[in-house]
Structure 1
Amino acid sequence: MPNPPQVTRRALMIGAGAVAAWASSPARALMLGADASALPGSVETLIGQMTLEEKAGQLTLMAAAWAGSAANALNPVQGNTNYERQLAEVERGRIGGVFNGNGAEMARQMQTAAVKRSRLKVPLIFAADVIHGFRTVFPMPLAEAGSFDPELAERTARIAAIEATAAGIDWNFAPMVDVARDQRWGRGIEGAGEDVLLGRVMAAARVRGFQGRKGLAAQDAMAACAKHFAAYGAAEGGLDYNTVDISERTLREVYFPPFEAALDAEVATIMASFNELSGIPATANPWLLTDVLRREWSFGGLVVSDYTADLELIDHGFAADAREAAKLAFLAGVDMSMQSGFYIQHLPALVEAGEVPMARLDEAVRRVLALKVKLGLFDDPFRRIDPRREKTRVRTPAHLQVAREAGRRSIVLLKNDGDLLPLPRAGQKIALIGPFAQGQRELIGPWNVYGSDAEAVDLLTGVRELVADPAQVTAVDGCGIEAPIDGGIEQAVAAAAAADIVILAIGESQRMSGEAQSRVDIGIPPAQMALAEAVAATGKPMVVLLRHGRGLVLEGAVKEAPAILATWFLGSMSGPATADVLFGVEGPSARLPVSFPHATGQQPYHYAHKNTGRPHPVGPLQEYKARYREALNVALYPFGHGLTYGRIAYGSPEGAGGTLTPGGELRLAATITNSGTHDAVEVVQLYIQDQSASITRPVRELKAFQRVALKPGESRRVEFGLKRADLTFIGQDLKPTVEPGQFRFWIAPSAQAEGASGVFELS
């Protein structure tokens, strides 16, 4: 790739000239000032002026040729790395938008080419992957889902939008709303975990945050894109891009609801998924993209392919060549092609040959133009492109403070034997040991295009900022992430022996999670396990800090450590957020959004599994029951699990034995008490099980949750309301139904805890 163009006085003058040119352009004349009733006519007039090639150009989305190294590393290079050539394509009207570009100046130059030098001067749309923050990086979405706080997710998404739009970005390829129930799959980091309800509320919150509440034309709003439609998280064997073969009932009960929640939140766009679905790739699946999305759900927005997904129809064995792949994807309902170039190459000829109706072509172009209108690009194509704002609206103290808060509230306390945590801030020598103990590396996590570890704060810095005497804290790597270091274990053992307490920071690298990072073994790498065993043998109290992008298998000294914290990838303020929880500046309040299994061989595992005809009873292992030879079919740490620094007890259930009538509401409640000496935030969860139904039901289903703050010695009555609609499932006719009968409920701290439980009747 040639050196990126430098920002010059001439470039700035050209940008100013482009604004003047836009003021008299045909496209602006059609669009500016159009009210809601006149807008469709304006769009139709513009469509009528376009050539076939210009129409196909509007449906072509390409990776920016001028992009940063992080963007280039996230996807396979597809040959469009010549910036001047890409500008020429823009001028010819052969590109409708670019993504993951290199900031406001790049966007200014490209938009200038579109609105000053193209024939119709239709503005470009600028897109990006802003998955968990722009320059201020927040906890990865899976970690943030553990907060069980959609309001927090909306706030972090809002800040991401404020920063990204300052750099010229109009459209975000997020949120990912795939339900993920196999921890081998690396892309689970982008979603909200294994539960349908949590997936729904987080999907809606993130859409609202990215798009804002003032309309898409707001300067700090960017269109959201719910992805990947559909069932990408159900890939066989947890292998990325792999086949998915599941029932329509499972689609409608598990994988569709988060997309429906995104649509209810008025998400602007949908991305089709890579995977095939029961033999038909999603990118060319008319039932999925047209029958369900358009006709059943009445979605009127834009559908975009994933990166080269139409090209991949050939390798799927579904399309014979590029021409057929373009035709199949387009007729199935994919409006805009990302990165393959197939639409600009083949749609004009397909329309001329009568193989693609002109009406379908115009429909797709209409959706692209409508999105640009809603984003205000026809009013002012440069509304989000301002290099000065790009410098002043990112990484502000307020944004970084929210990143620290989000980090604290994403950490899950898995274990705390003997109340080892929180640690005192004075009077102890602390040894930070492990490949994640120090250094500005492996902090922000996978899938971040614009943030950097160099701008993040590491664990050692965070700890030394909080303790009374920073000299009492030493740090030793001990080993690499996947390989030993000569003398590393010896140094670590010496540091542990000289300390009063050990903090062992171990886990996964950023490259071990995320896209294309499926794992056959989701345990701690052997080099780190050897380090853990050696350090544990010193007998010093040990706190394990896990850095990870998935639910992990814990064994040996790690599993047996008295205190374990799941700290995920927390972003820009990783070190301070972790230190805040370690030393009790704020107590842990997050809960697991995914289950931690006993062994990798349990995957796929999720709490909402079925009983089977031979469920294993409570008690000793029995033969001929639904279990593995070595373990029960339960989690080591289940969905919803997480401890506090308080002592939480659940009282007797209220509402047990009640009856829920049609049109009525059943109130279920329990009193929650903190008998400890620390403040606590408990996430109280309501689960139900339909005891007998015409379709077998899961052993538990989450129906509601509340975050409850409790002072030491305080009790709170926590109440939930259940309505008939909360008990709906997909019946034998594949329609939503609800059946009378007996239900069990749990008001509990996790999906495996008893809490306050009882039964009720649905009349």
Structure 2
Amino acid sequence: MKQTELLAIIEKMSPKEKVDQLLQLAADFYTDNAEDRTGPMDNLNINETTIDNAGSILGVSGAQKAIDIQKNYIENNPHNLPTILMADIIHGFRTIFPIPLALGCTWNTDAVEEMASISALESSVSGLHLTFSPMLDLVRDPRWGRVLESTGEDPYLNSVYAKSMVKGYQGDNLKEDVTKVAACVKHFAAYGGAIGGRDYNTVDVSETTLREKYLPSYQAAIDAGAKLVMTAFNTIEGVPASGNKKLFRDVLRDEFEFKGPVISDWAAIKEMINHGVAANEKDAARLAIEAGVDIEMMTTCYDKHLLELIDEDAKYMDLLDEAVLRILELKNDLGLFENPYRGADPVKEKEVILSESHRESAREIAEKSMVLLENKEILPLDKTAKIAVFGPKATTGDLMGAWSWQGKFDEVITIAEGLVSKGEHVSVSTTNYDLFENTAESLVDAKELATTNDVVVLALGEADWMSGEAASRSDIKLPQSQIELFKIVRSVAKKVVVVLVNGRPLDLTDISEADAILEAWFPGTEGGNAVANILFGDVNPSGRLSMSFPENVGQVPVYYNTENTGRPYEAAPEEKYVSKYLDVSNYAKYPFGYGLSYSSVSYDNLALDKEIGEIEDTIKVTVTVTNQSDRLTTETIQVYTRDLVGETARPLKELKAFKQVELAANETKEVVIELETKKLAYVHQDLSWAVDAGEFNLMVGPNSRELKLAKSFSLR
């Protein structure tokens, strides 16, 4: 449908019908049972006519239900418009993949794109049109529960993943390819910078930091063609995102040239009253529409007050028409005018959902995402060894995480099930192990199993509700009962392997005496099989951290790409009058990019094809890597740079390129990585992006701390 045709539709719509297109309601309003709608209708003080005309619907599940809702919507809508069915498909629909923070640890863009593509297929065949993903908030504070939804602490790595996710969700032809769904970029902007890691809290960042660290990943997704942007809950410079003209008119629309609609997060427009920048709902509606927020999710400030604003000032009709056009253009981009039921197919739904091939992909990606943090020559395990597996995360299906909306516990392969399927002598405890309380029975059982087996695999971690939205924690250790359980087991067991299931970096000081620690994250539907394959050595672990683990919570935020100070710690850590703590180092326990494998890889012969380059140039970085083991391994070669003299203080190191290579047993490869010098640009004092002439250090290694080789080059 051409834009002229969309404009013709808008011309025929009444002002109230236009306003209704800006409203998003939850699936509860579209149940077959009229009585079930009464409560939600009363809460929002809306009637059936408004429900019939609301422009989009949140959280519908199931192909037939989606078809029925769309059919009724079109029949009841005065202009026979289709609605858009949206949902939170964050890391899988029914086949649940590892959480996004774990996906970040794959350092594998193909894996991330595959996750998004399968998620789109399962979503679309179930009737959905759009997913509220990717979440591209840069994260540095593990106290914030929503680090689970981010891919990590680095703006470059996050930007690479942003493009992969958008491509996976949307494909190359969203309108024609009904196996794809539209992507929504969230949360604009800087939601991950909440002070104290407390959800919904104020964000206070300089504009330089905002532009250089937080905004690039959003822009990467927008440049990749993402169709929708969601506002953040937080304030920036004291202005809530949902009423922030600077963010949405100046940056998003003018600078990033985003043409699609903007949607508020749940109730975020009305919450501007709580923020103290709106006196009432009418005031909130005014701020939001002026800022360019087109869709109001689950509050009715627009529904109740936009017409009143229009009566007072005709400019609000122009803003309303602008918003309606963007919403209709999104429906057109999805092909809903021609094919309102799009990919919804009850028969195909049964074939596609949780298929064996999807399970296989989920397992392989989970294997790539797990990070081996410690290994004191115990892993991989001998399949003939006597192994006991127990702990509060051993036999539970709670391996999916807080955003696994459609996932089912009974479809998850547990850690115990995975180990039993691989090992010849694996004992699984039938005793209940609680996350927060040890019983006399469980402690007796733990000691018995620990003393009568060669190895204990102790599965510890968080419940799904302990990370995610509204799940901030001031103490990021394991629950005390689990620490006590570990210490008791450690005191009697020959060997202890800890498998962690969690949604954030933790303070692991209390389990540091484990013989091995595998960070499995919330690994998803096939988590247990993935854990088993790694522990038994069928898969060589390749995951590398995309977010640093602190020594303790007092270091937080701790991240790798810090700026130098006037009294740098690195120059003299033993001195008092340098920037440091007295009781702990400045360094993360496990830094960005870190992860062990069952192989040792050496780095040699770093070379650059030029030592002096131009500001618009490409430098070829060559390094020789050798697998010094008898097993296949995947190595992630990481390239960092440092701008030695900048207009503003520059980080000590910044990731600028990486490459994953597969090395056969004892294989040597010469690897070439291209570094575009435009990636060395940063935000200057006038807020422009530019590359400096001058000298740079280039460092190569397996993680952000162990940078084994270095060279210098200059730009002119």
Specify if TM > 0.5. Answer: yes
1: distance between equivalents of 2:458 and 2:256?
A: 49
Q: Secondary structure at the match of 1:101?
A: coil
Equivalent residue runs for 1:620-631 within 5 Å:
621-631=574-584
Q: Secondary structure at the match of 2:141?
A: coil
Letter in 2 for 1:677: D
Structure-2 change in CA distance of 1:280 and 1:84 (3 Å): closer
Shift of 1:610: 1.2
1:263 aligns with 2:222: yes
Match of 2:392 in 1: 435
- Correspondent of 2:68 among 109, 116, 127: 109
Match of 2:508 in 1: 554
Match of 2:34 in 1: none
Query: 1:435·1:477 contact (CA, 8 Å) conserved in 2?
Result: no
Shift of 1:485: 2.4
Alpha-carbon displacement from aligned partner over 1:592-617 (angstroms, at most 9, x marks no partner) = 01001100111111101112111113
Shift of 1:392: 2.1
- TM-score after normalising by structure 1: 0.90
Structure-2 change in CA distance of 1:619 and 1:696 (3 Å): closer
Query: 2:371·2:541 contact (CA, 8 Å) conserved in 1?
Result: yes
Q: Secondary structure at the match of 1:56?
A: helix
Shift of 1:619: 6.8
Match of 1:501 in 2: 455
Structure-2 change in CA distance of 1:83 and 1:600 (3 Å): closer
Q: Which moved more, 1:104-113 or 1:698-707?
A: 104-113
Shift of 1:402: 0.3
Unmatched 5+ residue regions in structure 2?
A: 32-36
Shift of 1:106: 2.6
1: distance between equivalents of 2:382 and 2:609?
A: 43
Match of 1:74 in 2: none
- Correspondent of 1:519 among 451, 473, 481: 473
Alpha-carbon displacement from aligned partner over 1:104-142 (angstroms, at most 9, x marks no partner) = 233223222221122211111100000010011111111
Shift of 1:83: 13
Match of 2:83 in 1: 124
Q: Secondary structure at the match of 2:489?
A: helix
Letter in 1 for 2:286: K
Match of 1:724 in 2: 677
Alpha-carbon displacement from aligned partner over 1:562-590 (angstroms, at most 9, x marks no partner) = 21111000111010011111111111011
Query: 1:90·1:113 contact (CA, 8 Å) conserved in 2?
Result: no
1:293 aligns with 2:247: no
Aligned length: 711
Alpha-carbon displacement from aligned partner over 1:516-543 (angstroms, at most 9, x marks no partner) = 0011011111100000111111141111
Equivalent residue runs for 1:169-568 within 5 Å:
169-354=128-313, 356-418=315-377, 420-426=378-384, 428-440=385-397, 442-469=398-425, 472-475=426-429, 479-556=433-510, 558-568=511-521
Alpha-carbon displacement from aligned partner over 1:72-103 (angstroms, at most 9, x marks no partner) = xxxxx99527999989346652x111111232
2: distance between equivalents of 1:302 and 1:571?
A: 32
2: distance between equivalents of 1:257 and 1:206?
A: 15
1:54 aligns with 2:17: yes
Q: Which moved more, 1:666-675 or 1:628-637?
A: 666-675
Structure-2 change in CA distance of 1:657 and 1:485 (3 Å): farther
Structure-2 change in CA distance of 1:474 and 1:619 (3 Å): farther
Equivalent residue runs for 1:589-604 within 5 Å:
589-604=542-557
- Correspondent of 1:633 among 586, 591, 604: 586
Query: 1:66·1:101 contact (CA, 8 Å) conserved in 2?
Result: no
Q: Which moved more, 1:723-732 or 1:353-362?
A: 353-362
Structure-2 change in CA distance of 1:606 and 1:617 (3 Å): closer
1: distance between equivalents of 2:126 and 2:47?
A: 19
1: distance between equivalents of 2:573 and 2:227?
A: 53
Q: Secondary structure at the match of 2:369?
A: coil
Letter in 1 for 2:380: P
Match of 2:26 in 1: 63
Match of 1:71 in 2: none
Query: 2:29·2:51 contact (CA, 8 Å) conserved in 1?
Result: no
Shift of 1:477: 5.8
Match of 2:627 in 1: 674
Q: Secondary structure at the match of 2:373?
A: strand
Equivalent residue runs for 1:572-611 within 5 Å:
572-611=525-564
2: distance between equivalents of 1:368 and 1:347?
A: 17
Structure-2 change in CA distance of 1:166 and 1:723 (3 Å): closer
1: distance between equivalents of 2:133 and 2:50?
A: 25
Shift of 1:635: 0.7
Shift of 1:497: 0.4
Shift of 1:478: 7.0
Q: Secondary structure at the match of 1:357?
A: helix
Structure-2 change in CA distance of 1:215 and 1:108 (3 Å): closer
Shift of 1:483: 2.1
Unmatched 5+ residue regions in structure 1?
A: 1-33, 69-76
RMSD between aligned residues: 2.1
Shift of 1:450: 1.0
Query: 2:233·2:242 contact (CA, 8 Å) conserved in 1?
Result: yes
Alpha-carbon displacement from aligned partner over 1:262-291 (angstroms, at most 9, x marks no partner) = 011100010011100011111100010001
2: distance between equivalents of 1:620 and 1:740?
A: 31
Shift of 1:719: 2.3
Structure-2 change in CA distance of 1:252 and 1:167 (3 Å): same
Query: 1:159·1:399 contact (CA, 8 Å) conserved in 2?
Result: yes
Structure-2 change in CA distance of 1:41 and 1:518 (3 Å): same
1:753 aligns with 2:706: yes
Shift of 1:759: 2.0
Query: 1:67·1:100 contact (CA, 8 Å) conserved in 2?
Result: no
Structure-2 change in CA distance of 1:86 and 1:423 (3 Å): farther
Query: 2:390·2:416 contact (CA, 8 Å) conserved in 1?
Result: no
Letter in 1 for 2:410: A
Query: 2:44·2:300 contact (CA, 8 Å) conserved in 1?
Result: no
Shift of 1:647: 1.2
Query: 1:90·1:114 contact (CA, 8 Å) conserved in 2?
Result: no
2: distance between equivalents of 1:688 and 1:214?
A: 37
Q: Secondary structure at the match of 2:28?
A: coil
1: distance between equivalents of 2:146 and 2:38?
A: 22
Shift of 1:492: 0.5
Query: 2:30·2:69 contact (CA, 8 Å) conserved in 1?
Result: no
Query: 1:134·1:451 contact (CA, 8 Å) conserved in 2?
Result: yes
Structure-2 change in CA distance of 1:699 and 1:40 (3 Å): same
Identical pairs, percent = 38
Match of 2:48 in 1: 88
Alpha-carbon displacement from aligned partner over 1:624-682 (angstroms, at most 9, x marks no partner) = 21111211111110000011111111224223992223444332222111111221111
2: distance between equivalents of 1:227 and 1:236?
A: 18
Equivalent residue runs for 1:26-65 within 5 Å:
34=1, 39-65=2-28
Query: 1:177·1:259 contact (CA, 8 Å) conserved in 2?
Result: yes
Alpha-carbon displacement from aligned partner over 1:20-76 (angstroms, at most 9, x marks no partner) = xxxxxxxxxxxxxx4xxxx111101100111111001111001110699xxxxxxxx
Q: Secondary structure at the match of 1:224?
A: strand
Query: 2:636·2:658 contact (CA, 8 Å) conserved in 1?
Result: yes
1: distance between equivalents of 2:12 and 2:610?
A: 69
Query: 2:615·2:693 contact (CA, 8 Å) conserved in 1?
Result: no
Match of 2:56 in 1: 97
